[in-house]
Amino acid sequence: MALRITDECINCDVCEPACPNEAIFQGDNIYEIKPSQCTECVGHFSEPQCVAICPVNCIIKDEAYPETTQMLLAKYQQLMQKKETKS
């Protein structure tokens, strides 16, 4: 499932550059995650990099987007195909 950033976010700017899918962006008040681009780092790393680096532990699974590891891997593969097409 995709991840989301809670209101506890302190806008420390460490999660955005850690995301290999460029799914994290600065929202109106806090950083946000685009569910369509979040693979929980499946395909890139063994654990979500934003979760690993967040100093306040404000990144959680987004229950609105239930996805299996296989679904996340398929999303990763689609994102990589799009990226290759743009290159």
pLDDT of residue 55: 98
pLDDT of residue 75: 97
Please, are residues 33 and 5 in contact by the beta-carbon 8 Å criterion?
yes
Three-state DSSP state, 5? strand
10-40 pLDDT per residue, tens: 999 999 999 999 999 999 999 999 999 999 9
Dihedral of the CA atoms 13, 18, 24, 75 (nearest 10)? Answer: -170
Reported as type and span, the H/E element at residue 17 is helix 15-18
Four-point Cα dihedral 42, 48, 50, 51, nearest 10: 160
Q: What residue ranges do the domains of the chain occupy?
A: 3-82
Task: Identify the three-state secondary structure at position 61.
Answer: strand
- Select the CATH number that applies to the domain covering 3-82 from these four: 3.20.20.70, 3.30.70.20, 3.40.50.920, 3.30.2270.10: 3.30.70.20
